[in-house]
Amino acid sequence: MFLSKLIQRPLASSEVRLLWSCRATFHTTTRCLDQDQPQKRSPSSVNYKLRGKASQKKRIGRQFIDFVRFTARGGDGGDGCVSFHREKYLAKGPPNGGNGGRGGNVIIKSSSDETTLRYMGSGGSAKRGQNGLGGGRHGMMGENLVIRVPVGTVVRQVFRDKKEVDPEDEPEDEEALAQQARENRWVYFPRTEPNQTVIEGKKNFFRQAERVMDEEDKYLRWRARTEQQTVIDVDLNEPDQELVLCTGGSGGYGNPYFLTTDNRSPKFATRGRKGEIREFELELKTIADIGLVGLPNAGKSTLLGAISNAHPKQASYAFTTLHPFVGTVDYVDDYQLTVADIPGLIQGAHRNVGLGHAFLRHVERAKILVYVIDLSGETPWEDLKVLQSELEAYRPGLTKRQSLIIGNKADRVTTARENLTRLQAEAKDIPVIPVSARYEKNILKLTSVLRKEVERLRVEDIERKRKELEDDEDM
């Protein structure tokens, strides 16, 4: 009906039949699609969703990454340009190819917005420099690659043994190698390949230019050999510290560089040099004022939740905490201090029992080590000894650091009272503060003791740094 209105005349019977057949075809086609599509699409999409959910669960424990190996590549230099000035009534203009731009540098920067090395990946390269252009236009420098890492990241350059090349693997065709080296170094004017053969009584300008570049290579090799290469080993322990990991390669020369009194139209330019490639190990060592250490289930995370703004997972099974957690304790006068909670340590952790002891790197730099001991346990003084021996196994002398013992679960009065007296006797000169993290008892006293100590240590730190600076200036 609609069609008959459109063409403004009644439809002929053949036209009606045609319309019906079209409708039928359309109908069948849609049904076919309906039948096929779910079978084609759904298995992959459902699998994809399942895969996502399953891996999400698995990934939970792996979200915090505090050690990575990273290969940094400086950007390659841009190529020089071969071009000549062109102008009306000027038959042969001078060469005017621009130099290539420098490759970008790889820069590492500490940032207080970052908390993990998870997004680092295994390598990164800065951008290549822009090629030179005609009209004497030099290429722009390649963009730097700035890698942001958390404050407290230690950057160490590492060297891998170079693979020895088997003499049998080396290609024998020296001519082909030389040709390849030439290809990697030179850019030629379109449709001109410099002649390698020396013609009697004529200078070979390309040979001359090659010699100039060989001299430059020789000089660069000599400089690399004689200059003391500083091996990077830096601790980015303050926000916004920057360090250049790799520099980009220099840009190639445009053809005016090879202009001599004899050769007025050099038809070659050089390619940019390769950027530096270096390997690094990045290790994140959290910087917190206070580091909590304790056996699993001692109540470290509950304590952190009670004194700070952090909400770490707490549960009554061992190894609830799988990666370090840093919380900030806020005082009414806006004073702040940071507390790091780490996974539980057990006897033999230095032999990789439990979760091992690598995570101790996150309390290694704490100003105060706080042992969290479960007072309701059978022998809390033994727990203290286990913790101390594991800390010593990780880094000898670590237990000499200023320490404090927190006797947690003091609400379980029946056992806690006796245990506290014995623990204090065994701990000798380390003060013990009984608290109940779950019921938030004695927390105020604890936070004020922590603040007093941290304040004193911060002042000492500033004094020490000032002295070091003064000594440096005197020298």
Ligand X SMILES: Nc1nc2c(ncn2[C@@H]2O[C@H](COP(=O)(O)OP(=O)(O)OP(=O)(O)O)[C@@H](O)[C@H]2O)c(=O)[nH]1
What pairs with residue 403 in β-bridges? 369
Cβ 302 to ligand X shortest distance, Å: 4
Give the pair of three-digit tokens for residue 441: 């008892």
Which member of 83, 321, 338, 436 binds Mg ion (CB under 5 A)? Answer: 321
Regarding 302 and contact with Mg ion (CB under 5 A), the answer is no
Cβ 168 to ligand X shortest distance, Å: 56
Cβ 292 to Mg ion shortest distance, Å: 9
Rounded Cα–Cα distance for residues 318 and 295 (Å): 9
What is the gyration radius of the CA atoms in the chain, in angstroms? 36
Burial of 243 (0-12, 13-18, 19+ CB in 10 A): middle
Nearer to ligand X, 115 or 442 (CB): 442
Q: Which residues bind ligand X (CB under 6 A)?
A: 294, 296-302, 314-316, 318-321, 343-344, 408-409, 411-412, 436-438
Which member of 105, 301, 376, 436 binds Mg ion (CB under 5 A)? Answer: 301
Judged by CB under 5 A, the number of residues near Mg ion is 3
255, interface contact from Mg ion, ligand X, none, CB < 5-8 Å by kind:
none
Cβ 451 to ligand X shortest distance, Å: 21
Cβ 425 to ligand X shortest distance, Å: 22
Do 374 and 409 form a contact (C-beta atoms < 8 A)? Answer: yes
Nearer to ligand X, 158 or 315 (CB): 315
Rounded Cα–Cα distance for residues 227 and 250 (Å): 18
Rounded Cα–Cα distance for residues 331 and 341 (Å): 19
Regarding 320 and contact with Mg ion (CB under 5 A), the answer is yes
Integer CA distances (angstroms), 235 to 82, 365, 404, in order: 46, 12, 27
Nearer to Mg ion, 153 or 301 (CB): 301
Residue holding tokens 């202009």? 259
153, interface contact from Mg ion, ligand X, none, CB < 5-8 Å by kind:
none
Give the pair of three-digit tokens for residue 333: 């006068």
- Angle at CA 207, nearest 5°, toward 202 and 212? 130
414, interface contact from Mg ion, ligand X, none, CB < 5-8 Å by kind:
none
Instruction: Please report how many Cα atoms fall inside a 13 Å half-sphere around the Cα of residue 449, on the Cβ side.
Output: 17
Do 172 and 181 form a contact (C-beta atoms < 8 A)? Answer: no
Residue holding tokens 């000492």? 460
Rounded Cα–Cα distance for residues 67 and 51 (Å): 27
95, interface contact from ligand X, Mg ion, none, CB < 5-8 Å by kind:
none
Do 377 and 294 form a contact (C-beta atoms < 8 A)? Answer: no
Nearer to Mg ion, 315 or 459 (CB): 315
298, interface contact from Mg ion, ligand X, none, CB < 5-8 Å by kind:
ligand X
Cβ 301 to ligand X shortest distance, Å: 3
Cβ 348 to Mg ion shortest distance, Å: 19
Nearer to ligand X, 147 or 307 (CB): 307
Nearer to ligand X, 105 or 436 (CB): 436
Cβ 297 to ligand X shortest distance, Å: 4
Nearer to Mg ion, 68 or 339 (CB): 339
What pairs with residue 369 in β-bridges? 291, 403
> Looking at beta carbons, which residue is closest to ligand X?
344
Region binding Mg ion by CB under 5 A among candidate stretches 26-34, 118-126, 212-220, 314-322: 314-322
Nearer to ligand X, 185 or 438 (CB): 438
Rounded Cα–Cα distance for residues 377 and 158 (Å): 45
Do 84 and 268 form a contact (C-beta atoms < 8 A)? Answer: no
Rounded Cα–Cα distance for residues 473 and 396 (Å): 33
297, interface contact from Mg ion, ligand X, none, CB < 5-8 Å by kind:
ligand X
Nearer to ligand X, 282 or 391 (CB): 391
Residues that bind Mg ion (CB under 5 A): 301, 320-321
